[in-house]
A and B are shown apart, each in its own frame.
Chain A
């Protein structure tokens, strides 16, 4: 069974631009969570989607948004990029919301210049 895939793997954007990241969960998994990872901050939870509905949301500004499609694939969008948005963005999938375990993708490394 294929793992969680994220595209693109690397991205360089300019401050003020917007970006869309994509995540395809493991087949059969219906829950997708997004995290921002930065050195010293660890993983910060962004949001979780299940059956196309946002179930949980972290403490991030409204510039960060997401959505989930009927095939469980998810996208995350960041508008008006700031230098501080440079990070590794990780996606994780679970069979269902509230599941005990989640499986991570390789991440998208976003650099904002």
Chain B
């Protein structure tokens, strides 16, 4: 069964610094998608970044980048130049084609001014 594990319930970072959120997953599939979602205190969940498993190159979206280690089944999110608006709950998610999304339990990120 697919599982997604986020071992850091809470993280904090100083404004303008860099922080890395960890995520591991378990699957027997070779092609799948991985996602990081952000849920600010207002509760609207938004997609931060997406990674296709068949792509070796790590995805990047502005200040957000991932470190995808397929063999290790690891998918960490790096936030550079952290801003106050980055404070939110971050969820890692996995999806195999046509099947449901599997989410981790989330990491609450605090940005310290």
Of A3, A42, A90, A102, the contact of B106 (CB 8 Å cutoff): A42
Which of A19-27, A62-70, A74-82, A93-101 makes up part of the contact surface?
A: A93-101
B28 interface residue per 8 A CB criterion? no
Q: Which residue of B lies closest to A104 (CB)?
A: B45
Q: Is the CB of B105 within 8 A of A101?
A: no
Of A3, A40, A43, A105, the contact of B103 (CB 8 Å cutoff): A43
C-alpha gap A103/B6 in the complex (Å): 22
Contact with B along A31-45 (1 / 0, CB 8 A): 001010000111111
Q: Which residue of B lies closest to A3 (CB)?
A: B44
Total interface residues on A, CB under 8 Å, equals: 26
Q: Is the CB of A33 within 8 A of B100?
A: yes
B16 interface residue per 8 A CB criterion? no
Q: Is the CB of B33 within 8 A of A100?
A: yes
Rounded to whole Å, the gap between the CB of B40 and the closest CB of chain A is 11
Q: Which residue of B lies closest to A107 (CB)?
A: B43
C-alpha gap A48/B100 in the complex (Å): 8
Q: Which residues of the partner chain A approach B93 to less than 8 Å between Cβ atoms?
A: 43
Asked whether A45 and B50 contact (CB < 8 A) given A88-B43, A104-B44, A106-B43, the answer is no
C-alpha gap A104/B37 in the complex (Å): 10
Instruction: Give 10 closest A-B pairs by Cβ, nearest first.
Output: A104-B45, A42-B105, A98-B98, A43-B103, A45-B100, A56-B100, A42-B103, A42-B106, A106-B44, A107-B43
20 A-B pairs whose Cβ atoms sit less than 8 Å apart in the complex: A42-B6, A42-B91, A42-B103, A42-B104, A43-B91, A43-B103, A44-B103, A45-B102, A48-B100, A55-B98, A56-B100, A58-B100, A88-B43, A98-B98, A98-B99, A100-B33, A101-B47, A104-B37, A106-B43, A107-B43
